[in-house]
């Protein structure tokens, strides 16, 4: 990638970033640093554990940066009541966006109704907040299954599809992202895609931007339709920007 190309990708990618810390050793000090980085980089949002939502909301108040958190994460369990209760609590703490792990094992064993019920219940709880549904595509693996999960999530009210938790052996892949974008394109109502897990370099960002441009058109990608969920990618983009 030539330097001009790197500059274009960096300028496009930074405002799309969900700057993330979902590490097991995350602390309040790390969240303070994450929020400082988010403001310096002009990203779309931070994505943190539910227990850090209120801290992030206070730190980013008035900036326009959004607070995302994870629900039913990372296991993709099947307790719908807990998912809705956790969502309601996160929203009270100041979350703007909910990243819900689909109960993908239920889908795999043929219980699509259970998976749909959870997405619909969390959708109802979210109200005006953005709902991203994590398909855990590395576990679904098969493109047909990924497309079926995408359709289910979109029909149940997802605002975004998200590839991965970043906690499974296989995270985002271009093949999974293409299957998801194809389903988004087929819908009349708007929805977005969040590519998450394993993105580390400017070249990774460029590949997914090019994929979205090819399938959805060159003007489709904005923070309202496309996100890159990452932690280490931020450093690569800021370095490329010379900061």
Q: Alpha helices, DSSP H only, in the chain?
A: 3-13, 28-41, 53-59, 80-93, 104-108, 112-126, 137-140, 143-155, 174-186, 202-216, 232-240
- 99 among known catalytic residues: yes
Catalytic member of 18, 159, 194, 204: 194
- 194 among known catalytic residues: yes
> Cα 28 to the chain's mean position, in Å?
22
Rounded CA gap, 182 and 231, in Å?
27
Catalytic member of 37, 86, 159, 162: 162
Tokens 């895609």 belong to residue: 193
Within 13 Å and on the Cβ side, how many CA atoms surround 100?
39
Catalytic member of 99, 132, 159, 204: 99
Residues with a known catalytic role: 99, 162, 194
């Amino acid at each position: 990638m030539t330097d001009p190309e790197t500059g274009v990708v960096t300028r496009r990618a930074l405002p799309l970033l969900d700057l993330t810390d979902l590490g097991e050793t995350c602390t309040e000090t790390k969240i303070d640093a994450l929020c400082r980085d988010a403001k310096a980089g002009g990203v779309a949002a931070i994505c943190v554990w539910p227990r850090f939502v209120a801290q992030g909301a206070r730190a980013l108040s008035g900036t326009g940066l959004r607070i995302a958190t994870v629900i039913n994460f990372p296991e993709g369990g099947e307790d719908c009541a807990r998912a809705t209760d956790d969502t309601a609590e996160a929203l009270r703490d100041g979350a703007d966006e909910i990243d819900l792990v689909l109960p993908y094992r239920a889908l795999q064993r043929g219980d699509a109704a259970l998976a749909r019920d959870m997405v619909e219940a969390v959708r109802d709880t979210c109200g005006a907040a953005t709902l991203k549904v994590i398909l855990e595509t590395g576990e679904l693996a098969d493109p047909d299954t990924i497309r079926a999960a995408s359709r289910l999530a979109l029909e149940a009210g997802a605002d975004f599809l998200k590839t991965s938790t970043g906690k499974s052996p296989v995270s985002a892949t271009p093949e999974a992202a293409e299957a998801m974008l194809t389903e988004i394109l087929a819908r009349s109502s708007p929805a977005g895609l969040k590519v998450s897990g394993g993105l580390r370099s400017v070249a990774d960002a460029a590949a997914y931007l090019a994929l979205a441009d090819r399938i959805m058109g060159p003007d489709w990608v904005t923070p309202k339709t496309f996100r890159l969920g990452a932690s280490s990618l931020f450093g690569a983009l800021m370095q490329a920007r010379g900061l």
